[in-house]
Structure 1
Amino acid sequence: MTQYPHLFAPLDLGHLTLPNRVLMGSMHTNLEERGDWSRVAAFYAARARGGAGLIVTGGMAPNAEGAVFPGAAGLFDVQDIANQRRVTDAVHGEGGRIAMQILHAGRYAYGKDCVAPSAIKSPISPFAPAELDEAGIEKQIADMATAAARAREAGYDGVEIMGSEGYLINQFLAARTNRRSDDWGGSYDNRMRLAIEVMKRVRAAVGQDFIVIFRISMIDLVPGGSNHDEVVQLAQVIEAAGASLLNTGIGWHEARVPTIATSVPRAGWAWVTRKLMGKVGIPVITSNRINTPQVAEDLLASGAADMVSLARPFLADPDFVAKARAGRAELIAPCIACNQACLDHTFQGKVSSCLVNPLAGHETELLIARADAPRDIAVVGAGPAGLSCAITAAQRGHRVTLFEADGQIGGQLNMARRVPGKEEFHGLVDWYSAMLAETGVALRLNTRADAAMLQCFDAVVVATGVLPRSPGIPGQDGPNVLSYIDVLRGGAEVGPRVAVVGAGGIGFDVAEYLVTGESPTLNLPDWLREWGVTDPAEARAGLAEEGAQPDKALRAVTLVQRKAERPGRRLGKTTGWIHRASLTMKGVKMIGGATYERIDAQGLHILRNGVPELIACENVVLCAGQESLRDLADLPGEVHVIGGADVAAELDAKRAIDQGVRLAARL
């Protein structure tokens, strides 16, 4: 008897039955663009083997002008069909089902040949689109139908039509981007016309015994977006036009509301999908920030949706479904929604992977094989680098002992999880604990390893992490000066006015910790109010008329940095704006280009543009970088140094975990 009866209930689509209610949602991985189709096939095959009920690929362009960037993958010719056939054969060989997403980027296309309903430039692209004429519109419809037919020829079980997230079809739907006065614009009936025609033509091209998902924007989160009645109207006509399933899209890419970052509450958008339930007769899929089997089960059991879409959780753990079915949810590597190795990589032109699981996207290159000759290995330091190395080495059959001077595992993760909006790090530490037990790693807490303890091991891995770097400010030894460790781990008393020295990732985290009371991430109504989101039945596109309404900040905080640039500029590519916006809403002052003069009882004295300035405060918190702690690096014998002990650069868990896994793979 499964713990998740609704999650593992079959879903009858008429011509076929899916084995469970789990959709692996679309993610652009940049794998297809590498041209190594065995690598693409291995990526999707692993997720099929892990039990996903239905997989949706990353977006495939129907033509050159609709590609998200020049050279992006699509189904353009016979060779493309042959390449895609390698993917579908691999998935079917593992007993899986897979649909290809057809994505026309419209004005979001990062190229000079982009097209749109109206010649209105996107705020997130440097290229102004050309307005489509009647012949151009017909070409886009025909090309999408042709792509669907080619997908069927390539062996796909279905297609997903991308009609959300602000891409071309969504651009036709919204008055914000559709200023036309012909039969393709003006009234909502006219603005829906492209979506309906695409749906009809795709269905005609593929026949009835083929899955066609329509990705519908349930809440646009941009001025001039659709309201709820329009969404329902569209859903009903799309059903009538032949859709098999409706999948939920949340927000446009240019929206100023977070939709999938870690600070978004779990299942934080399922309430929007629930509003469509009962309004259509085909299954409805809910999405965004669903990262555990229990969250998914609860949504299905409560009637919020007929199916759940999980995308990045399948990067973190391709065996998500299999482990849930086996009753071993504690062993599912958790998606923490950090975006660091997935979306950030996508927008940097890199292969998308996962901070928690560096094997994602590297299935043919990073192999974890049983060791020919198991060895005795010591790992010193139970932070993310040491944990990942110890667990991976043990999975390979090595006998691993993990030494940790603290009374708990986690290292710097134990500070991250105290930051409001980063509660997912609790689950990551719990998973590491479960995996240590599962793999048989011998854990020695409260043990500061020394040369004598380590001399009997065949190899030693030094993962001892970092220490705070001293910024060398006169007066920094005063009683009013704290380090970020004092604040995030020591629970130090902090006064009502604070200067934070250093505006990197740690400085931003400390500032968030100091200004936030109860974390809105743990309370959905509070979070929606903080970001100015309301019911799209009450306000168009779900944007509250009164705007963002965050709680009053607990303290007056000033972030200061030496670099003469905007503070937070070097934060994550897809999440940095969220951190900056969150602190700005709470009145945090940010100063760049400062020279630190001294700290005294009055506060922090700086020079800015040669002018003396006092930041009056009760406390100064130092977040001025780190230095590697590598006392054991020079031991005799085979010694490897990883993580912060190797390179002290912010608190880079992505690099640390990747280093740990890759080292263990070759030990």
Structure 2
Amino acid sequence: RQIRAFVRCAVKAREAGYDGVEVMGSEGYFINQFLSQATNLRRDAWGGDYSHRMRLPVEILARMREAVGPDFIIIYRLSMIDLVPGGSAWDEIVTLGKAVATGGANIVNTGIGWHEARVPTIATSVPRAAFAWVTQKMKAEFAAAGITTPLVTSNRINTPEVAEQVLADGCADMVSMARPLLADAAFVKKAAQGRADRINTCIACNQACLDHVFQNKTSSCLVNPRACHETELVYRPVSSRKRIAVVGAGPAGLTAATVAAERGHEVHLFDAAPAIGGQLNMAKVIPGKEEFHEMLRYLATRVEDTGVLLHLNRKVAAADLAGFDEVIVATGVEPRDPKIPGQDHPKVLSYIDVLRHGKPVGERVAIIGAGGIGFDVAEFLTHGEHPSTTLDLPAWKAEWGITDPAEARGGLAASGPRVTPPARQVTLLQRKKGKLGGGLGKTTGWIHRTVLKMKAVEMVGGVNYERIADEGLLVSYGEKREDPTWIPCDTVVLCAGQVPLRSLAQDLEAQGRKPHLIGGALEAGELDAKRAIDQAARLAARL
């Protein structure tokens, strides 16, 4: 019955006018589960030794090809490295690869890891083209067997330059991309025109694509809010040109300014800082978040291309904005005051002191607040001066315990992950009881928690912050403030949330004007760039 269902889907796709289908034989789904000895415990003709376990995909492809004919494309996505205990051995993967390449598939695509794998495979901290070497191994196997079926490689290929290098190195015949085309639907056109520097690069954050999918929400893109909303979020040319001031050149302000200018308005963008980016300039220094450099690069090109008049090192007051038809306030946030006795102690720093100003931090650190910023600061401080493994593929593979699947089933090293010792001893704390990082991304939160565990970060919830003194940070537990305990530390970093910066908006309102608030200036919770950019785009589209 299941085989018939696969075949029926392919037939219906052909009847609907599609040129082909891809059979999902990877990522731990139904077909993949039949292949693994860890999950296929059957004792009949569909289980047991590998020739029986691989029978399901072979039968699916043979019957599918018979049903759709020779001139319909069938791609088979082959799990080339499972990254789970008891995953397939390399000789098994090769056997199946050869069988599908000669048994009905026109193209063989690369699947990486099961969803259950405790190794990241597509998140922003994964090096670009991190698994192209696996496809290259299969390409050599195909060549040795005289098989010419094209091989596709996948995962974290997000720029034309990366794709070209993968092909030039002989890793594959083709490359597969999905999220980069959400980030910029004109990706291929811009690459063909030699305008790669104008591509809105996927930063692999997953916040609006996969995180939405797994919550039954419409998929979109953090860096491109029009993705999957193209018919409702339309940037139409304006019939009446306005003079618009945007104050704040963070992601919200940059988006509002460039969309408004693209539509034909005269837009002036002001920021007191010497560079655009706002909070993005702190995000980009976190190990594993280097893709934020690409986001900033693209936003800078948008300012240039749309003709936004940029005024940096310029702090504006309400009086400076008298000549504008519309004022958009995107002034962002400031750290919330946690009002902890002793927080004026010399050992206390804010996350801004650490990430933006590079102030010295001691060997023992207590971080107050375990939201996204608290996790970022913990990763930054435990990493220290070591180069980011996101930029060093061998080091990244070692850190996550990845090895050649020819050496170990599933591609997991028997020795396990090899973690660089933490640069500092860090304790991460939150007032709320329960798991720390519960509000992080659905598909990426587990990675951040795992990284901190690997770096021996102590995570403590349900605490009250009593005071800060020479001894360190004094905490108690529960509503009754029981068991007062000193956490010895040299530095306390405050990551206790943010509040909107609205003084300019309030001054404008006092003059009887009605500014538009977007981003952190409207709502400060967790510095949500996805929400901020979407708000900005929708506002600029209707002005």
> 474, 477, 492: which is aligned to 1:620?
492
Give the structure 2 partner of residue 130 of structure 1.
Answer: none
Q: Which runs of 5+ in 2 are unaligned?
A: 143-147
Q: How many angstroms apart in 1 are the aligned matches of 2:278 and 2:190?
A: 27
Q: What is the Cα deviation at residue 638 of structure 1?
A: 4.2
- Per-residue CA deviations over 1:575-604 (Å, capped at 9, x if unaligned) read 110000000011000000000000011111
Give the structure 2 partner of residue 72 of structure 1.
Answer: none
Give the structure 1 partner of residue 145 of structure 2.
Answer: none
Give the structure 2 partner of residue 593 of structure 1.
Answer: 462
* Amino acid in the other structure paired with 1:543: L
Q: Secondary structure at the match of 2:140?
A: coil
> 85, 99, 109: which is aligned to 1:237?
99
Q: How many angstroms apart in 2 are the aligned matches of 1:382 and 1:206?
A: 54
> 207, 210, 213: which is aligned to 2:72?
210
Aligned: 1:577 with 2:438? no
Q: What is the Cα deviation at residue 430 of structure 1?
A: 0.8
* Amino acid in the other structure paired with 2:520: G
Give the structure 2 partner of residue 256 of structure 1.
Answer: 118
Aligned: 1:633 with 2:505? yes
Q: What is the Cα deviation at residue 250 of structure 1?
A: 0.4
Q: How many angstroms apart in 2 are the aligned matches of 1:601 and 1:384?
A: 39
Alignment of 1:139-150 (within 5 A): 139-150=1-12
* Amino acid in the other structure paired with 2:268: T
> 37, 47, 53: which is aligned to 1:185?
47
> 270, 275, 288: which is aligned to 1:408?
275
Alignment of 1:503-542 (within 5 A): 503-516=370-383, 517-542=386-411
Q: What is the Cα deviation at residue 278 of structure 1?
A: 3.2
Q: How many angstroms apart in 2 are the aligned matches of 1:552 and 1:181?
A: 46
Q: How many angstroms apart in 2 are the aligned matches of 1:352 and 1:184?
A: 36
Q: How many angstroms apart in 2 are the aligned matches of 1:553 and 1:600?
A: 25
> 562, 566, 569: which is aligned to 2:435?
566
Q: What is the Cα deviation at residue 621 of structure 1?
A: 0.1
Q: Does the 8 A contact of 1:393 with 1:400 survive in 2?
A: yes
Alignment of 1:147-166 (within 5 A): 147-166=9-28
Q: How many angstroms apart in 2 are the aligned matches of 1:567 and 1:258?
A: 19
Q: What is the Cα deviation at residue 426 of structure 1?
A: 0.7
Q: Which runs of 5+ in 1 are unaligned?
A: 1-138
> 167, 179, 192: which is aligned to 1:325?
192
Q: What is the Cα deviation at residue 542 of structure 1?
A: 0.3
Q: Secondary structure at the match of 2:139?
A: coil
Q: How many angstroms apart in 2 are the aligned matches of 1:650 and 1:242?
A: 49
Q: What is the Cα deviation at residue 618 of structure 1?
A: 0.3
Q: How many angstroms apart in 2 are the aligned matches of 1:327 and 1:402?
A: 29
Q: What is the Cα deviation at residue 279 of structure 1?
A: 2.4
Q: Secondary structure at the match of 2:233?
A: coil
Q: How many angstroms apart in 2 are the aligned matches of 1:151 and 1:650?
A: 43
Q: Does the 8 A contact of 1:377 with 1:460 survive in 2?
A: yes
Q: How many angstroms apart in 2 are the aligned matches of 1:424 and 1:393?
A: 26
* Amino acid in the other structure paired with 1:648: A
Q: How many angstroms apart in 2 are the aligned matches of 1:211 and 1:171?
A: 24
Q: Does the 8 A contact of 1:459 with 1:637 survive in 2?
A: no
Aligned: 1:421 with 2:297? no
Q: How many angstroms apart in 2 are the aligned matches of 1:497 and 1:255?
A: 32
TM-score (norm 1): 0.79
* Amino acid in the other structure paired with 1:313: P
Q: How many angstroms apart in 2 are the aligned matches of 1:326 and 1:648?
A: 40
* Amino acid in the other structure paired with 2:82: D
Q: How many angstroms apart in 1 are the aligned matches of 2:407 and 2:400?
A: 16
Q: What is the Cα deviation at residue 464 of structure 1?
A: 0.2
Q: How many angstroms apart in 2 are the aligned matches of 1:211 and 1:278?
A: 23
Q: What is the Cα deviation at residue 243 of structure 1?
A: 0.7
Superposition RMSD in Å? 0.8
Q: What is the Cα deviation at residue 364 of structure 1?
A: 1.2
> 404, 410, 416: which is aligned to 1:547?
416
Give the structure 2 partner of residue 290 of structure 1.
Answer: 157
- Per-residue CA deviations over 1:431-480 (Å, capped at 9, x if unaligned) read 11111001111100000011222111110000000000011100101110
Q: How many angstroms apart in 2 are the aligned matches of 1:273 and 1:449?
A: 54
Q: How many angstroms apart in 2 are the aligned matches of 1:632 and 1:600?
A: 36
Q: How many angstroms apart in 2 are the aligned matches of 1:509 and 1:400?
A: 34
* Amino acid in the other structure paired with 2:369: G
Give the structure 2 partner of residue 308 of structure 1.
Answer: 175
Q: Does the 8 A contact of 1:458 with 1:638 survive in 2?
A: no
* Amino acid in the other structure paired with 2:244: I
Q: Does the 8 A contact of 1:217 with 1:248 survive in 2?
A: yes
* Amino acid in the other structure paired with 1:633: A
Percent of aligned pairs with the same amino acid: 62
> 208, 215, 219: which is aligned to 1:348?
215
- Per-residue CA deviations over 1:24-78 (Å, capped at 9, x if unaligned) read xxxxxxxxxxxxxxxxxxxxxxxxxxxxxxxxxxxxxxxxxxxxxxxxxxxxxxx
* Amino acid in the other structure paired with 2:434: E
Give the structure 2 partner of residue 223 of structure 1.
Answer: 85
Give the structure 2 partner of residue 339 of structure 1.
Answer: 206
* Amino acid in the other structure paired with 1:615: I
Give the structure 1 partner of residue 317 of structure 2.
Answer: 450
Q: Secondary structure at the match of 1:277?
A: helix
Q: Secondary structure at the match of 2:376?
A: helix
Q: What is the Cα deviation at residue 491 of structure 1?
A: 0.3
Q: How many angstroms apart in 2 are the aligned matches of 1:567 and 1:303?
A: 43
Give the structure 2 partner of residue 391 of structure 1.
Answer: 258
> 516, 535, 539: which is aligned to 1:663?
539
Q: Does the 8 A contact of 1:504 with 1:568 survive in 2?
A: yes
Aligned: 1:269 with 2:136? no
Q: Does the 8 A contact of 1:286 with 1:304 survive in 2?
A: yes
Q: Secondary structure at the match of 2:34?
A: helix
TM-score (norm 2): 0.97
Q: Does the 8 A contact of 1:606 with 1:613 survive in 2?
A: yes
Structure scoring higher RCO (CA < 8 A, sep ≥ 6) equals 2
Give the structure 2 partner of residue 24 of structure 1.
Answer: none
Q: What is the Cα deviation at residue 564 of structure 1?
A: 1.0
- Per-residue CA deviations over 1:487-511 (Å, capped at 9, x if unaligned) read 0000010010000000000000000
Q: What is the Cα deviation at residue 365 of structure 1?
A: 1.0
